[in-house]
Amino acid sequence: METALTPEGQSTDILAVANLPVLWILAIGVFAAIIVQSLVYMRAARKAGPAADITEEELTRSFRAGAIAAIGPSLAVVLVSVALLTLFGTPAVLVRIGLVGSAATESASASLAAGTMGAELGGPDYTQAVFVVAFMAMSLSGAGWMLATLILTPVLRRGDTKLRSVNPALMAIVPAAALIGAFASLGIGELGKTPVHILSVLVSAATMGLCMILASKTSAGWLREWGLGISIIVGLFAAYLAHTNGMTPTA
């Protein structure tokens, strides 16, 4: 471990720092920004509706349709978020997983950051200091997406053809390679840890595979959204059974 850390920094009581009142206030601020934005947008849409050839009633129906369609996916995100609460505390989960990012990118960022501190997410060396560094890295990474949006949207809106005419093959292959590369590396990295880690990866991967097959072969399309939450629960359950039945790796 790094020697600069104070005794407090090496405490593993993550929630003591992760649930501080100031963090709650900042998280509520992010929610407020979203609510204000939606209210302003809805007023602007109603005002300009006639010009866009859309009636007040159609706007309301669109709002309702969007809200209803979001119930399932939102609850699926809730399930994943609750599973991550013990790792990051409520305010960080609300802002990072619930809003800006997704469970996949944010937990990946946190795991990478913890790795640079010589620690493992949720492991015995996952101290307050590791949590804070991971939280900082997640937030900076999330800021990357937001900054890119703030910078690129006005550029794209001006119809900058240079950006839009980027080679389509490049736009199809490079992002896919970056994504699969990042997650393959993280997933395969877990296989180098304890037998219970390997079991968790394999069980959760198999569960997701099953969900995806059922979602495409049957009418259970909802499994696409719920797949991640279900896989996490099944993976954790398998890990719990293995961990408490002697596969405990503590050397």
Partner 1 sequence: MATADTAATTSGSLAEFDRTTSRWGQATMGAALLLSLAAPIYLVLTTDLGITAGMIWTAYLAVAAAFFVLWFVEPITYYPVLGPAAMYQAFMIGNIANKLLPSALVAQATIGAKAGTKRGEFSALMAICGAAMVHVLSMIFFVGILGTWLVSIIPTDIVDVARLYIFPSIIGAVLVQLIVTMRQPRVTVIAVVVAVLVLFVLVPAVPALAKPATGVVVLITAVLAWFLRSRGKTAAPTTLVN
Q: State yes or no: residue 220 binds partner 1 (CB under 8 A).
A: no
Q: State yes or no: residue 146 binds partner 1 (CB under 8 A).
A: yes
Dig out the tokens for 6 from the structure. Answer: 């104070």
Q: Which of 152, 195, 222, 247 binds partner 1 (CB under 8 A)?
A: 152
Single out the residue of 98, 174, 191, 177 nearest to residue 138, CA to CA.
98
Q: State yes or no: residue 212 binds partner 1 (CB under 8 A).
A: yes
CB of 196 to partner 1, least distance (A): 6
Q: State yes or no: residue 66 binds partner 1 (CB under 8 A).
A: yes
Q: Which of 13, 163, 222, 247 binds partner 1 (CB under 8 A)?
A: 163
* Helix (H/G/I), strand (E/B), else coil: 143: helix
Residue with Cβ nearer partner 1 (58 or 220): 58
Residues in contact with 242: Cβ distance below 8 Å, sequence separation at least 6, in sequence order: 195, 196, 199
Instruction: Report the site for partner 1 in 73-132 (rule: CB under 8 A).
Output: 73-78, 80-87, 90-96, 98-105, 107-109, 111-113, 115-117, 120-123, 126, 128-129, 132
- Which amino acid type is present at position 27? A
11 burial level (CB within 10 Å; 0-12, 13-18, 19+): middle
Q: State yes or no: residue 223 binds partner 1 (CB under 8 A).
A: no
Q: How far is Cα 99 from Cα 139, in angstroms, rounded to an integer? A: 12
**DSSP symbols for 12-59:** --HHHHHT-HHHHHHHHHHHHHHHHHHHHHHHHHHHHGGGGT--HHHH
Burial of 1-10, coded b for 16+ CB within 10 Å and e otherwise, reads eeeeeeeebe
Q: How many residues sit in the footprint of partner 1 (CB under 8 A)?
A: 172
Residue with Cβ nearer partner 1 (164 or 218): 164
Q: How far is Cα 170 from Cα 173, in angstroms, rounded to an integer? A: 5
104 burial level (CB within 10 Å; 0-12, 13-18, 19+): middle
CB of 221 to partner 1, least distance (A): 10
Q: State yes or no: residue 71 binds partner 1 (CB under 8 A).
A: yes
CB of 30 to partner 1, least distance (A): 5
* Helix (H/G/I), strand (E/B), else coil: 3: coil
Q: State yes or no: residue 214 binds partner 1 (CB under 8 A).
A: no
Site string for partner 1, 30-59 (x = CB under 8 A): xx-xxxxxx-xxx-xx-xxxxxxxx---xx
Q: Which of 13, 181, 195, 247 binds partner 1 (CB under 8 A)?
A: 181
Instruction: Report the site for partner 1 in 190-209 (rule: CB under 8 A).
Output: 190, 192-193, 196-198, 200-209
Q: Which of 125, 150, 162, 219 binds partner 1 (CB under 8 A)?
A: 150
CB of 251 to partner 1, least distance (A): 14
